[in-house]
Structure 1
Amino acid sequence: MTTTPRSPASISITRLLRGLGLAAASVAASVAATLPAHAADKFTFLTNWYAQAEHGGFYQAQATGLYTRARLDVTLKMGGPQVNLMQLLMAGQADCIMGYDVQTMKAWEQGIQAVTVAAAFQKDPAVIIAHPQIKKFEELKDKTILVGSAGLVTYWPWIKSKYGFTDSQVRPYTFSIQPFLADKNIAQQGYLGSEPFSIETEGKIKPTVFLLADQGWPPYATTVVCSVDTVKTKPKMVAAFVKASMEGWKSYLAGNPAAGNALIKKDNPNMTDALIANGIAKMKSEGVVFGGDAATQGVGIVTDERMKKTYDMLVANKLLNAAKVDLKKTYTTQFVKDLKVMP
């Protein structure tokens, strides 16, 4: 078979087209190199207090690049005693906040549309601390109990109804352990990783610590709470933040927490290594993050059954007006039900 030879003109045109193709590809590559990569979405998360081990999963996610890999540019802002989290959330100063079931459900009574999207803590770390001679919670019935203003409108009514305690037992808690150390007939409120450690360190006694969650107190704690608007308009960002945060909690408690701890101490220079270590140890030993439903359904899980239990308890103790609050609007499981960040 004979072939028709290509003319010099056709060869020149072919070479020209190839050259133009190569040049175009080169130009495209050069332009692409000068363009910025896909910008990370800015996301602000406001915590409920000064940085501490109990916030460690979020700081770990920041420190180890989990948020960055999720294409999020996350800012962690500390809360504090004068910080109104819900107000700042509704004002758009944060995309989501560190919340608490009781607070979030009650917010709906005032028309604040806030939604729980994940729960880092399967157990609320709230505790009642007693002197060593007290072995059972029921033995506190004739003791003076120091309770702060927040406790009086959350767990105290539940304690009264379940154990038959009375308001006559209550005295104000002033966030000092000295009254407790001075009187063996006094018990006080506390936080699992904080006051018991201070009492052991300063008082040289090992107190009896009752974790309210182990007594039946049902709310989740250290939740991720967003506005209804954020959930509707930024679902991918919320999903990415929840996933990276829960992976952060797994890394913090099951891996090396050093990176997260460094950021915690940077934000809160008053935080000591000993207090951080104690907080981590207590979260592990008491199953605060990995216990409950998280053991089988993954870190951050929120279930309908658990939320209904909290809702019903609040209504029964006249802490929530059922006529004003639709339980189903206060939370969503869409971001955690299939997440499966297993401990």
Structure 2
Amino acid sequence: MQLNWLPEPQFGGIYAAQARGAFAARGLEVTIRKGGPDVPAVALAASGKVEFALAAADEVVRIRAGGADVVSVFATYQTSPQGLMTYAARGLKSIEELLRAGGTLAVQPGLTYVEFLRKKYGLDAVELVTYQGGIGQFLARKDALDFAQQCFVTSEPIAARRAGVEPATFLIAETGLNPYTSVIITRSAYLAEHRNVVRSFCEALREGWEAYLHDPAPANAVMRGLNPSLDAETFALAAEAQVPLIRTEETRARGLGCQTPERWATLVRQLEDLGAVPAGAVKPEDCFLDLLGAPAPAPGK
């Protein structure tokens, strides 16, 4: 299992599944490999060097358009945690207001949502600069109040608040672009040959995420040992912040990790409209497989 970043709460259910023996109980021997800025998690899965990896749904569509046959089998974040943050003191109420207010916007080049925002709102009023990671730029410009940056709403806003600067945070999902995030991918060939293994893996993930959302402390302790750059309070705050992004009305009805054809069809159409993938190059139904279905109702229901 190849992560696409260092151990953090966004992977809490994976570590919880391992810690509570959910993989082992299903006869699976799972090694969780840390990611980082130089770890090509999607490419490792597409090439078969790992059986499973983390990706975003828009990455799945893009790589399938390029000929890689990967499929999403579990969607952790039902609402994407990607966002923009600026200073609360600016009094801005939406991404549209932010983009029309001027100033500087720090983003990583090539992000799907940057092109989506450019097409929907225009970016002429802001100066785009390259995001350098973390909140260093954000803190350095706090007196000018003319800066905004990309963020995960479960990460950088927490760091800014703990550094004494109150952020205003806006979800990209609120603009209409909401790809599943932290999806588990595997190759279609592996899925065809080992369908029961993949199903068992997803069952263990669902168990792990249920456990983590109920009590993140045990898995947080494991991840802190692997990523000491984050302290216990940051782990706890991030775990709490991500709950409504993972557990939604959809997952209450259909189970954690669920995916729908409608969401994938919308995403493919949006990427086609942006020119990110050729029209007709990717069939939404080929991008995912929901192996688990809805959980059984509780006794008496």
What is the TM-score with the length of structure 1 in the denominator?
0.80
Q: Which of 140, 149, 156 is the equivalent residue of 1:188?
A: 149
- In structure 2, the partner of 1:108 is 64
SS at match of 1:102: helix
- In structure 2, the partner of 1:134 is 92
Measured in 2, the distance between the counterparts of 1:180 and 1:120 equals 28
**Inter-CA distance 251–102: structure 2 relative to 1 (3 Å threshold):** same
Q: Which of 17, 21, 25 is the equivalent residue of 1:65?
A: 21
Q: Which of 171, 189, 199 is the equivalent residue of 1:239?
A: 199
Measured in 2, the distance between the counterparts of 1:57 and 1:150 equals 29
Q: Which of 158, 161, 172 is the equivalent residue of 1:197?
A: 158
Structure exhibiting the larger radius of gyration computed from Cα positions? 1
1:156 aligns with 2:114: yes
| Conserved? CA contact 1:125–1:192, under 8 Å | yes
Quote the offset at 1:121 in angstroms.
0.9
- In structure 1, the partner of 2:168 is 208
Measured in 1, the distance between the counterparts of 2:46 and 2:12 equals 25
Quote the offset at 1:95 in angstroms.
0.7
1:281 aligns with 2:261: no
**Inter-CA distance 341–98: structure 2 relative to 1 (3 Å threshold):** farther
**Inter-CA distance 341–195: structure 2 relative to 1 (3 Å threshold):** farther
- In structure 2, the partner of 1:84 is 40
Identity %: 26
Measured in 2, the distance between the counterparts of 1:110 and 1:305 equals 22
**Inter-CA distance 339–95: structure 2 relative to 1 (3 Å threshold):** farther
- In structure 2, the partner of 1:250 is 210
Q: Which of 292, 299, 303 is the equivalent residue of 2:260?
A: 303
Quote the offset at 1:322 in angstroms.
2.2
Q: Which of 177, 180, 191 is the equivalent residue of 2:135?
A: 177
- In structure 1, the partner of 2:226 is 267
Measured in 1, the distance between the counterparts of 2:152 and 2:110 equals 13
Query: Residues 39-58 of structure 1: matches in 2 within 5 Å?
Result: 45-58=1-14
Measured in 2, the distance between the counterparts of 1:76 and 1:332 equals 22
Q: Which moved more, 1:83-92 or 1:120-129?
A: 83-92
Paired residues, number? 291
| Conserved? CA contact 1:115–1:331, under 8 Å | yes
Measured in 2, the distance between the counterparts of 1:189 and 1:310 equals 20
1:219 aligns with 2:157: no
Quote the offset at 1:339 in angstroms.
4.6
Measured in 2, the distance between the counterparts of 1:188 and 1:82 equals 22
CA offset digits 1:145-183 (Å, max 9, x no partner) = 1111242xx101111222233385311111142332313
Measured in 1, the distance between the counterparts of 2:48 and 2:205 equals 21
SS at match of 1:124: coil
Over aligned residues, Cα RMSD in angstroms?
1.8
Amino acid paired to 1:241 = F
Quote the offset at 1:101 in angstroms.
0.7
1:125 aligns with 2:81: yes
| Conserved? CA contact 2:4–2:40, under 8 Å | no
Measured in 1, the distance between the counterparts of 2:45 and 2:295 equals 25
SS at match of 1:46: coil
CA offset digits 1:197-231 (Å, max 9, x no partner) = 121122x1211100112332220011010001111
Amino acid paired to 2:233 = A
Amino acid paired to 1:228 = S
Measured in 2, the distance between the counterparts of 1:150 and 1:82 equals 16
| Conserved? CA contact 1:51–1:267, under 8 Å | yes
| Conserved? CA contact 1:299–1:340, under 8 Å | no
Measured in 1, the distance between the counterparts of 2:24 and 2:191 equals 21
Quote the offset at 1:98 in angstroms.
0.9
| Conserved? CA contact 1:51–1:264, under 8 Å | yes
Amino acid paired to 1:296 = A
SS at match of 1:274: helix
SS at match of 1:244: helix
Measured in 1, the distance between the counterparts of 2:134 and 2:208 equals 33
SS at match of 1:158: helix
CA offset digits 1:222-256 (Å, max 9, x no partner) = 101000111100100100000110111111012x2
Measured in 1, the distance between the counterparts of 2:56 and 2:296 equals 22
For structure 2, list consecutive stretches of 5 or more residues without a partner in the other structure. Answer: none
SS at match of 2:240: helix
